Structures are given as structure tokens and as C-alpha cells.
A and B are shown apart, each in its own frame.
Chain A
């Protein structure tokens, strides 16, 4: 088997953007939202396959609907975002399993980087850069809100607006990440590099940079390795990222 360079370049970009975005989920609460959201892509993937549309666009449509539901209900009610994400997640999964055609279920769940073409690659590069810039612009405000919502509000931070922007860029990254890692494992692109970076970072700058770097390494390395072995990229990316997490965990213990 050989390495497909279109796939590899796409993976490098989306891996970097996903890793950087993951570092914004500095707290437990947010990382859960990122984890669960990736499954919300499934019904969209299903409909896209049925209608012969681009998987990523289908995924994006259902993700945006999911994000808006979570965000609106979270603002209008006092329900926790974890609970809401959980409900949306279960419904999405159920609808997803019904609409995704049987023979394509595996591809939808675990990704198929081989189906990435030049147009996809160009799109992924553009999207990754936009996501990075948007994430960077809300970064300090999100950090302040993690420390204290009241402090952030007193400083004039629009928390609800930032949360929506954040969820939307997560949705975008997931929509394009599903081609690489599938809806089941895309969360690995977002959560694992940041978790690995957190083990050995003493500042936000280190943390966000390392998360992006490990994201590039995990996604790029995973796609390349999967190409060489001749299996789906998703599981390889996830396992490779998990190994990096284990490595930094040990490194962090030694450093302290």
C-alpha cells in the first residue's frame, strides 16, 4: 500500500486545527461537548450518502443543527450543557444508524481518507486556517470565562456568543475530520492532542502550540502509517494519539 498525499496533506491541516481547538477545551466540561459532538455528524453523513452529496457537507449540516439546539436550550433553560449534548447525541446516533446504508456504515463510523479528493483538500486547508484564526481570537476570552464567568462578564466578555462560535468551529472541524477518522473517532483528533499537551505544559502558549503540533503529528502519522499497513486511518490516528498521550503523561510525571 502507498501513502496518498492528498489525504496526508488534508490530515496534517485538519489535525493541526483540531489539536489547537482541543486546547481550548481546557476544562472537563468542554472536552465532553467535543467528544459527543462528533457523533452528531452521523445522521448528516447518512443523508449525504443517500442523496449522493459530499459527506462533509452533510455532516456539517447536522452538526450545525445539533450545535444550535444545544446552545439555544442551554441559554433558555437551566439544563446543563452536558445533559443537552447527551440527549442530542443519543438522538443523532439513533437517526444515524437508521439512515446510513448498511454497507457504508463502517466508512461513516471510522472514516475513509481514500475518498478525499483535491477539492476536499483545498477546502480542508482553507477551513483549517479559518478555524485557527477564529479560535485564536476567542482564546483569551474563553480562558477568562473558564476561570470565572462573573469575571469574564464583568470584563464585557460575551460568553454565550463565544460559546456558540466555539461550538460552530468544533462542528466545522468535525465535519471535515470525519473523512479522516470517521464519526466515531473524530473526537480523538480534538481531545487527545490537547490532553497529551496538557501533561507537559506550564503555560497557555506552550499548551496550545504543543496541542496543534501533536495534532499534526497524530493525524499525519496516523494517515501515513495506515496507508503503509493498508487499513482505515481513523483507528490508527486514534491509537497513535493515545500513545502520545501516554508518553507525555509519563514525561510529565518525570518532569515534576
Chain B
């Protein structure tokens, strides 16, 4: 019986040879504490190339901290942060990052074009990227980033993160204070980009409804790893109910 199972596993591997060593990220036993208080406790997960991971958790669950750790920017700003465990990205991985809601200071004199220039992105490419996030107005590139709406700014940040062809994009609560307008939500936008670009997305959110939109795997976090698996495994699970209370209801969208 055991042999049979092994054979089965072998044949699965043969069917999907690329997936065996296509891990883009591997996290093992990651713990983070800040000023003596445990923020994250013994988190392990991995991400296959082109897969999407949604990191779910209530406020204060350590989601943003995890994202910062993945970005390798945790140690900045002094503070008493201690980490253990390891985070291993694929060699030469290119990471794009969309931060939690930020807004430039009033009158900050930087144009959209110049914002892209920081990343050495030429005007034509910037216009293409803006098109991709649904900004078709070519005059937009001359606008001051402090003079566009917060929804447009959020789109701009997504476009900016796509510049330089990243392998993976990390997004921190992209819904926060969004008014992207029309029927299209920021999630539809990201889902479309995902289809086109075949990149990995790691999305942090406390919004359960996002899961079916594009998660291949879901990681539920509340300082500890609550659950980790495919959306079908996770949704309706006891642990998720514990995290969010009894009223968890999710509509499964069939595509």
C-alpha cells in the first residue's frame, strides 16, 4: 500500500515536473518579536512560481509584519525587532511591492512621469503600465502625484510595482480607502494583471471575499499560523471560524 502511494506521488511529480523545483519562496519556522512581544510565531509556508497566496487575518495579526519580513525591510528604523527561522527567495527574484495606503504630502512636486523615472522607466513604458491598470488618459503622466485621487494613486502604485517585470508582487491591503471607481475593483484589476502577466502575487488582506478571486493558497494568520491550504480546504474550516467568529460566510465564485 505504501509503495503504491509512493508510486502515485512519483507519477504526480512526473506529470508536473516544473513544480518540483519551481518554488519562488520558502519560509521556515519564522518567528518575529518586537520589544519582547511575539508578533509572529513559527510560521512556515512556501510559494510556487506563478501561484498566488492570500494572507488572511484580523487587524493586528502580524500580516504587515510578515510582509515586511518577506521584503527584508524589517530591521529598518531601529526598534527592538528579533527574528528567527528563515526566508528563502528564489535566486535573482524580482519583487514588486504595493504598500498599504499612503498619500503623498500636499503639493509634493513630483509628476507621474518622474515617479516612474525613479525606477528608470521610460515614458512609453510608463504609459503602457498605466494602460494596464486602466488609466488611459495620456495626459495623466504629466500630473503631480499629490494632485490625483487616492484611487488613481493606488492604481499608479500597482502600475509602478509592475515596472521592471517582477516575478512576484507583494500587496499590503490594497483596498484600504479605495475609490477606484466604476464597477471594477482593485481586485478585478489585479486578477486581470495576474492572468496577463503570469506572476506570483502575495496579497495581505482582512477581506475574506478576496480569497476565491485569485488565491491558489490561503494562509490564515493570527500571530500563529491558523490554517494554510487551498481556498477549498480553508473556507468553512473550523480554524477560520475561530479566527473570524461564527458568521463566516463566503460565496464561491465559479469562473
Partner among A74, A78, A141, A154 whose Cβ is within 8 Å of the Cβ of B71: A154
A201 at the interface (CB under 8 A from B): yes
B105:A146 contact, CB within 8 angstroms: yes
Number of A-B contacts (CB under 8 A): 75
Q: Judge if B214 is at the interface, Cβ distance under 8 Å.
A: no
Q: How far is the CA of A77 from the CA of B102 in the complex (A)?
A: 25
Assess whether B212 is interfacial by the CB under 8 Å rule: no
Are B119 and A198 in contact (CB-based, < 8 A)? no
Task: Convert A137-155 into 0s and 1s, putting 1 for each residue whose CB lies closer than 8 angstroms to a CB of B.
Answer: 0001101101111110111
Residues 76-98 (chain B) with a chain A CB within 8 angstroms = 76-79, 95, 97
Residue of A147, A154, A198 touching B73 (CB-CB under 8 A): A154
Which residues on the A side are within 8 Å of B142 (C-beta)? 202-203
Q: Assess the B71–A148 pair: CB atoms within 8 A.
A: no
A171 located at the interface, meaning its Cβ lies under 8 Å from any Cβ of chain B in the complex: no
Bound complex: CA A150 to CA B68 (Å): 8
One of B76, B79, B109, B118 near A153 (C-beta < 8 A):
B76
Residue of A148, A154, A198, A207 touching B102 (CB-CB under 8 A): A148
A75 within 8 A of B: yes
A203 contact from B73, B99, B110, Cβ within 8 A: B110
Question: Is A253 an interface position by the 8 A CB rule?
Answer: no
When distances are taken between beta carbons in the complex, the residues of chain A under 8 Å from B107 are: 198
Q: Is A206 close to B, CB under 8 A?
A: yes
Q: Which residues on A sit within 8 Å (CB–CB) of B72?
A: 153-154
- Cβ of B114 within 8 Å of any chain A Cβ, yes or no, is yes
Q: How far does the alpha carbon of A205 sit from the alpha carbon of B145 in the complex, in Å?
A: 14
* Cβ 8 A contact of A149, one of B76, B113, B114: B76
Does A28 have its Cβ within 8 Å of any Cβ on chain B?
A: yes
User: A145-173: contact bitstring with B at CB < 8 Å (1 yes, 0 no)?
Assistant: 01111110111000110000000000000
On whether A204 and B102 interact (CB within 8 A), knowing A76-B78, A150-B68, A154-B73, the answer reads: no
How far does the Cβ of B95 sit from chain A's closest Cβ, in whole Å?
7
A78 and B97 contact, CB distance less than 8 A = no
Contact check, A205 vs B114: say whether CB atoms are below 8 A apart.
yes
A17 located at the interface, meaning its Cβ lies under 8 Å from any Cβ of chain B in the complex: no
B interface: dominant SS: loop
Residues from chain A with a CB closer than 8 A to the CB of B113 are 203
For the complex, is B33 an interface residue (Cβ under 8 Å from A)? no
Known contacts A150-B71, A159-B76; is A143 also within 8 Å of B110 by CB?
yes
Chain A's interface size range is 20 to 34
Residues on B with C-beta less than 8 A from A4 are none
The residue that B108 contacts in the complex, of A26, A78, A140, A154, with Cβ under 8 A, is A26
- Cβ-defined contact, A78 with B76, below 8 A: no
A27 on the B face (CB < 8 A) = yes
Contacts of A76 in B (CB 8 A): 78
A201 and B146 alpha carbons, distance in the complex (Å): 12
Say whether, besides A155-B119, A159-B76, A203 and B111 are in contact (CB < 8 Å): yes
CB distance from B148 to the nearest CB of A (A): 12
Contact B105 A28 (CB under 8 A): yes
Does A75 lie within 8 Å of B78, measured CB to CB?
A: yes
A78 touches B78 (CB 8 A): yes
In contact, B78 and A203 (Cβ under 8 angstroms)? no
Docked complex: B127-160 residues within 8 A CB-CB of A: 142, 144-145
Contact indicator A202/B144 (Cβ below 8 Å)? yes
Q: Which residues of B contact A150 (CB under 8 A)?
A: 68, 71, 73, 97, 99
B residues less than 8 Å from A153 (CB atoms): 71-73, 76
A204 touches B110 (CB 8 A): yes
For residue B110, which residue of chain A has the nearest CB? A204
Closest chain-A Cβ to B83's Cβ sits at a distance in Å of 16
Given contacts A151-B99, A154-B72, A204-B110, 14 further A-B contacts (CB under 8 A): A26-B109, A26-B110, A78-B77, A78-B78, A78-B79, A140-B118, A146-B104, A148-B99, A150-B73, A153-B73, A153-B76, A154-B71, A198-B107, A205-B114
Show the binding face of A for B, using Cβ within 8 Å. 26-28, 74-78, 140-141, 143-144, 146-151, 153-155, 159-160, 198, 201-207
Q: List, sorted by A's number, 10 A–B pairs whose CB atoms are closer than 8 Å.
A: A27-B105, A78-B77, A147-B110, A150-B71, A150-B73, A153-B73, A154-B95, A203-B111, A203-B113, A207-B109
Chain B positions near chain A (C-beta within 8 angstroms): 68, 71-73, 76-79, 95, 97, 99, 102, 104-105, 107-111, 113-115, 117-119, 142, 144-145, 170
